[in-house]
Every structure is written in C-alpha cells, then in structure tokens.
Chains A and B, each alone.
Chain A
Amino acid sequence: MGAAGAGTLLKGTSAQAAANTHFTGYPNSYAVLHDITRCVGCRSCEAACNAVNELPKPDKPFTDLSVLESRRRTTAKTYTVVNKFPSDIQTTPSEKPVYVKKQCNHCLEPACASACFVRAFHKTPEGAVIYDPSVCVGCRYCMIACPFEIPTYEYDKALEPRVMKCTMCYPRIQKGLLPGCVQACPKEALTFGKRKEILDIARERIRRHPERYIDHIYGEREMGGTSWLYLSGVPFASIGMREDLGVTPAPELTSGALGAVPIVVGLWPVLLTGIYAISKRKEKVSEEERREAVEAALARAREQAEAEKAAALAKAQKEKETAVQQAVKKALEEAKKKAEQEGQA
C-alpha cells in the first residue's frame, strides 16, 4: 500500500492518494551528512548539543574522552553520543580507531510517528522529526517502534516525564542557523544541506575516493530513507549500525493489519447475524419437527385407542347378541318342554 507501484512514479512534488503511489517526501527538506572517516571523537558535537538544548550537565565533562571506552546509547540527558570502535575491525590500512556519532535519524517515514497514538511526533517539511510533550501520554510505544533505538524516557520524573531525542535543532534551522552539532564540528564530519544535495555530495565523495569509502550511503533507503546520512570507511555493521533493517518504511509494516480492521467491522456483524439466524432457524426447525413427531405419535396413539375401543365395542356387541340368542334358544326349549309336559297330562 503506498509503495512504489508498477512505475506510476508521479513526477514533481505532488503525491496523490492512489493505491500505487510512491511518496517521495517533502521536496526541500534538509538532511545531515555524517562522514565517519572524518570524525576524531572530540565530542564537541555532544557539548554543543547539550548547550543548545539546555540539557543537564553530565557527570563527566565533554572533554573527558575516557567515556569513549564503553559503548553508549542516547539517554534522557543526551540527545547524541559518539562511540569509539577499535582499530582492529577496520579493513583499511589505517590504524586509527573509528568514531561514530549517533542520534535521531529523522526518518522520512518515522516509526515513532507511525506508532504514536496521540500524534506527538511530526515530520516537518524542513526534515526534522519533532516531539510534542504537551500531548504525550507516556506509553513509550515510540521507543518500541524505533529501529535505531533512539528515543529515551525520563523515568525518574513522576509528574512530567518526557520522551527525549534529537530535534535537528528545529528552531535553529527554521531561523536559517545550523544544528548545534554541525556548527561545532571542527573536522567537517557533519554537513548540513538539502537532502538532495547531501546525497549528491555523498555520492561524489565515494566516486572521488573509492578506496576511502564503503560504496553505500547509510540512510539513503534504510527504513524508507532517513534525513541523517552516513559515509563510512568500514562496514556499517561493524560500527554498531544495523544493516538488516530493510528498506520498508514503518507505516507499511502495519498498514496490512490496520487495513483489516474496517473489514472486520464491516463483515463480522453480517457473518455473526447470519450464524445466529441459521442456528435459530435450525432450532426452530428441530422444534417444529419435535412438535410434529409428538403430534404424530399422539395421533397414532389416539387412532390405536379408537381402533381398540371399536374392536372392544364390536366384541361386546357380539357377545351380547350371542348371549341373547342363547337366552332365546333356552327359553324356546323350555317353552317347548313345558308344552310337551302339559300335552302329556
């Protein structure tokens, strides 16, 4: 549903609502390119993010690079983290470790937006996926849904816990400024621009330096495409970026189940009423048959009774006649005898 159909890719920006239409996203949305080969793990981006978003001060300062020794994920106080991957996982001759920045990827079809039952997430035309804490109920389904495991939750807050994640510095980019991390990066490992242009830049870098880059722009098509794109010199799977997520956008994963809902609503009442009617009819027919059987049995019984009665009456009548005949015969014989006796005297 909504996926690329048999070549009916509509040119231009409008995507009409047809079953075989392909959605290409907002035409002028921004994206960020993270060139992993340029990252040196200085954590300036983390510091800038913390300052711009007025997040709480961390336990260890951003200048402390020892935190890179353990694998970190985003937290309720950290929209972005840089992770370090040891040099022995590299396939290039360089001995340096690999540093990767992780944050919300601002997907073109965000799973969090698809999952949220109060529409607290919104993909803006600028490209940022933003969160509205004023409607959030705190169900955390967005955290289940995000394939990149990005959203975090303020579990320690009793009354106003929020989901926390990178905003692509939405207020800043609306004003024409760069996101905090992009601004702060000293190595130009982060580049901000229109997604189309960012993809061109990425392809050009791969083309120019095929020995430096893996021939893949991570985020170009993963989960239907993201607004944070990555170039790497080592396989993405070795630096904590999953390559088994597929290209199906999250809304498509659930559209089948969602589509079945109104069909059930439309057809179940009809089916169930039908079953009820049939079972009621069966009951009625069996009730009728039962009644007919009882009546037939009664009728037969009555007939039999009548027949027996008639037979009994006839028998009684016959016996009566025989008895009368006998009595008459006897009387005649007696009269004859008497007459004979009187005749003799």
Chain B
Amino acid sequence: MSETTTVSNKSVWTPFNLVAGIIVAIGLVLTVLRFTGGLAAVTNLSDDNPWGIWIGFDLLCGVALAAGGYVTSAAVYIFGLKRFHSAVRPAILTGFLGYALVVFALHYDVGRPWRLPYPFVVQQGTTSLLFEVGACVALYLTVLFIEFTPAALEWLGLKRARNLVVKLTMLLTIFGVVLSTLHQSSLGALYLIAPSKLHPLWYSTYLPVYFFVSSIIAGLSMVLFESTLSHHYFGDKLDEAHKRESLGVTLGFGKAASLVLAGYFIIKVIGMATANTWHYLNSGYGAWFLVEMLGFVALPCFLYAVGVRDRNVKLIRYTAAWTVLGIVVNRFNVSLVAFNWHLPSSQRYFPHWMEIMISVFIVTVGILVFRFIVTRMPILYEHPEYHGH
C-alpha cells in the first residue's frame, strides 16, 4: 500500500485553500446578514416564490446526490455483491456529509431554524409530507452517522466500539434503505399538493416514484463521480483493494445505472400517457422537457451502456458526471422552472447572488470536511489492523 507521508513541504496556501478560505469568509459574513436582516436581506424569495435554490438545490439535489450511501451499502450487504466493498465507505461518507449539509442549509432557509425540532416534540403535522421528510431525514442522518463511525473509531484506535458498531451493519443497511425509499420519494410527493402550480409535463401522481428511482440513478452516478475525483486528488490514499476493485465498480455501477435509467425513461413516458399530456410537448416547456428526457435520461442511458459494453472507463466516468448534472436539472425543473410556470415573467424567481454564494459556501464546507476525513481516516484504504473485516 503506497502511503505518502502527509508531513510534507506542502504549504497551507495552495490555490484551492485560498479560494476555499475566501468562500468561507464571505459565507460567514452572509450568515450574519441572513440572521440580522432576515431572508429578504440575502435572497430573492417572495410571496409568489417561497422556495428558491436553498430548497431546489441544497435540499432536493443534496438529498438525491447523497443517495449513493444506501444504494452502495444495499448492493454490498443485502444483494451480497462483495466486489463493490471498497466503494461502501466513500459512499457512506458522501451520504453522511450530504445529509448533514442539507440540514445545515435548512437552518438558513426556514424562518425560525431553532424551531426545527418542533414537528417532533411540540406538535405533529401528520398529514404533511414535509413532516414525513423531516422525520426520515433526521433518522437517516443518524443511521448514516453510525455507519460512518467505524472509520472514525479505527482512526481513534477504539477497537471494541468499532467492532460493536460493525455488528450493526445489516440492521443499519436495511433501515437505511427503508428510510431512503421514504424520504427520497416524499421529496417528490411534496409537490403533489400543488397541481395547479407545476407544469403538467412535470406534475404526475407518480412524482414520488420518479424521485425515488432517480435517486438510485443519482446515487450510482455520484459514487462514480466522487471516485473519479478521489482517484485524481487523493490517489495516494487508495489501497490495493480499492485499485483492484475500481474497474469492477465502474463497470458494475455503470451497468446498473444504464438499466435504471432505461426503466426511469419508461415510467416517465407511462406517466405522460396516464395524464394524456402529449400535447404539452408542442411548446417551449415541452421542448425543455424533451431536452431533459433525451439529453439527460436517454443519452446517459445509452452512453453508460456503450461504456460498459466496450469497457470504456473514461466514457462511463464522463457519463456519470453528466448524469449528476441531469439529476440537478430535473430537481431544478420540478422546483424552480416548471413550478409557477403559469405566472408572468415579472413574478418569476431567479436567485440572488447571495443565495448562490451561501450555497457555494455550504458545498465548500462539505468538501473541506470530506478532504479532512479522507486524508486521515480509513475511507479509501483499509486500516491494517482490521484488514479483511
């Protein structure tokens, strides 16, 4: 196992660190503005547009792209595909950080973040799908945290605690899949209550199913995307098992993603037939819908398939990045583009630069924490003392 010492001559002032530092500084200033001037001070939210990119991107995309955790652990522990084992820890870490960032971002978006526990401890709005989302996200974040702890415990040398947690893997994995199915689908179900505000090509009674299935696609693709970045930037941290399994993971996940994308395409078309919305295709929104379906569903489905058949790792990796973008496009479409499509353009929403900046800040914090963990804890490699477990 190649282990380059981290005690090097590398200065702290790398270009990345400088940029990250500036972003964090701006983020902190904007945080103060947010909590002294209210949402009006840093966002373009309005009475017509109560939800902006903090919901459309940070919440919807964040949760979808963190789905790699449950997908990978299900593949390895439930379906018994042991050859993907090296992908589990990075996926769980991405998942855990993803959900943690979602909760972090929510503290900026809701009017009174200190009241976020209220639905659980004060008064339960049980008819609300947002209640369901909140409950599942809170529970799942706990599950992910516990699933992440073995890596931290190994780093800290707490053997007994680590072994105890590992025994819970099966139980946590099943809970994780149950909770993920629920909240991934419920995020889509949030929009069921507003059929008059969502364009008919995107509104469907199948929205929960669409969000759930596309979360699987997002998870698979995000694992591949994150692995591409890790191989490039943290290549010295990868152990033999990782490198050996890498090709198998790429081909296996690429194949799965291709198949699920095909299924997703089919059920989206069925949804159109169910609602008889074909005629909407003949419009500006219709053209954009086709861009999403053909460019970001059909195309990656095909490219993944070609990549798998030809064993073209590069193509699969590029397709994964494109698919991740496609998930973002879909979530943006549902929450921001197709939502309020009936309003005149003067009443439509575009984010304030400060809103964008805070989202960038949140993602940057996530990347910094990811880097900290991956360069110190056994995520991309196996701890020598626990080899084989």
Binding site for B on A (CB under 8 A): 73-76, 111, 113-120, 135-141, 143-145, 147, 149, 151-162, 242, 244-246, 250-251, 253-254, 256-258, 260-261, 264-265, 268-269, 272-273, 275-276, 279-280, 282-283
When distances are taken between beta carbons in the complex, the residues of chain B under 8 Å from A256 are: 192, 205
Check B383 for interface membership: any CB of A closer than 8 A.
Answer: no
When distances are taken between beta carbons in the complex, the residues of chain A under 8 Å from B125 are: 115-120
Q: 1/0 contact trace for B101-142 toward A, CB 8 Å?
A: 000000001111101101100111101111110100000000
Q: 1/0 contact trace for B163-205 toward A, CB 8 Å?
A: 0000000100010011001100110011111111100000001
* A280-B128 CB under 8 A given contacts A145-B194, A161-B111: no
What is the number of residues of chain B that contact chain A, defined by CB distance less than 8 Å?
A: 59
When distances are taken between beta carbons in the complex, the residues of chain A under 8 Å from B80 are: 276, 279-280, 282-283
Name the contact of B182 in the complex, choosing from A153, A254, A265, A272 (C-beta under 8 A): A265
Docked CA distance A115–B39 (Å): 21
Name the contact of A254 in the complex, choosing from B109, B116, B127 (C-beta under 8 A): B127
Q: Determine if B115 and A135 form an interchain contact, defined as CB atoms under 8 angstroms apart.
A: yes
- Chain B residue at smallest Cβ distance from A162: B111
* A260-B128 CB under 8 A given contacts A147-B194, A153-B47, A156-B38: no
12 extra interface residue pairs, beta carbon distance < 8 Å, beyond A135-B122, A136-B115, A156-B39 = A115-B130, A115-B193, A117-B125, A119-B124, A141-B190, A144-B190, A246-B196, A257-B185, A257-B192, A257-B208, A276-B170, A279-B80
- Chain B residue at smallest Cβ distance from A143: B50
Name the contact of B197 in the complex, choosing from A144, A156, A283 (C-beta under 8 A): A144
* A141-B128 CB under 8 A given contacts A161-B112, A245-B196, A256-B205: yes
Q: Determine if B111 and A156 form an interchain contact, defined as CB atoms under 8 angstroms apart.
A: no
Min CB gap A140→B, angstroms: 4
- Chain B residue at smallest Cβ distance from A137: B115
Docked CA distance A111–B80 (Å): 45
Closest 9 CB pairs of A and B: A138-B111, A279-B80, A257-B189, A140-B50, A117-B131, A143-B50, A117-B125, A155-B40, A117-B128
When distances are taken between beta carbons in the complex, the residues of chain B under 8 Å from A265 are: 178, 182
* A140-B119 CB under 8 A given contacts A117-B130, A245-B196, A276-B80: no
Q: Determine if B193 and A137 form an interchain contact, defined as CB atoms under 8 angstroms apart.
A: no
30 of the cross-chain contacts (CB-CB < 8 Å) are A111-B193, A114-B128, A135-B123, A136-B111, A136-B112, A137-B115, A141-B130, A143-B47, A143-B50, A145-B194, A147-B197, A152-B47, A154-B38, A156-B38, A253-B192, A253-B193, A254-B129, A254-B192, A254-B193, A257-B192, A260-B185, A264-B181, A268-B174, A272-B74, A272-B78, A273-B174, A275-B79, A276-B79, A279-B79, A283-B80
- Chain B residue at smallest Cβ distance from A245: B196
Check B35 for interface membership: any CB of A closer than 8 A.
Answer: yes
Q: Determine if B130 and A139 form an interchain contact, defined as CB atoms under 8 angstroms apart.
A: yes
Q: Determine if A264 and B129 form an interchain contact, defined as CB atoms under 8 angstroms apart.
A: no
Total contacts A to B, CB within 8 angstroms? 181
Min CB gap B73→A, angstroms: 11
Q: Determine if A153 and B111 form an interchain contact, defined as CB atoms under 8 angstroms apart.
A: yes
When distances are taken between beta carbons in the complex, the residues of chain A under 8 Å from B310 are: none
When distances are taken between beta carbons in the complex, the residues of chain B under 8 Å from A156 are: 37-41
Q: Determine if B128 and A115 form an interchain contact, defined as CB atoms under 8 angstroms apart.
A: yes
Docked CA distance A265–B139 (Å): 13
When distances are taken between beta carbons in the complex, the residues of chain A under 8 Å from B205 are: 256
- Chain B residue at smallest Cβ distance from A262: B182
Check B385 for interface membership: any CB of A closer than 8 A.
Answer: no
Q: Determine if B35 and A264 form an interchain contact, defined as CB atoms under 8 angstroms apart.
A: no
* A147-B196 CB under 8 A given contacts A117-B119, A138-B110, A261-B132: yes
Name the contact of B51 in the complex, choosing from A144, A254, A258 (C-beta under 8 A): A144
Q: Determine if B118 and A118 form an interchain contact, defined as CB atoms under 8 angstroms apart.
A: yes
Q: Determine if B181 and A161 form an interchain contact, defined as CB atoms under 8 angstroms apart.
A: no
Check B3 for interface membership: any CB of A closer than 8 A.
Answer: no
* A257-B36 CB under 8 A given contacts A115-B128, A144-B193, A264-B181: no
Name the contact of A75 in the complex, choosing from B47, B128, B181, B192 (C-beta under 8 A): B47
When distances are taken between beta carbons in the complex, the residues of chain B under 8 Å from A152 are: 47
Docked CA distance A258–B127 (Å): 8
Name the contact of B119 in the complex, choosing from A118, A147, A242, A250 (C-beta under 8 A): A118
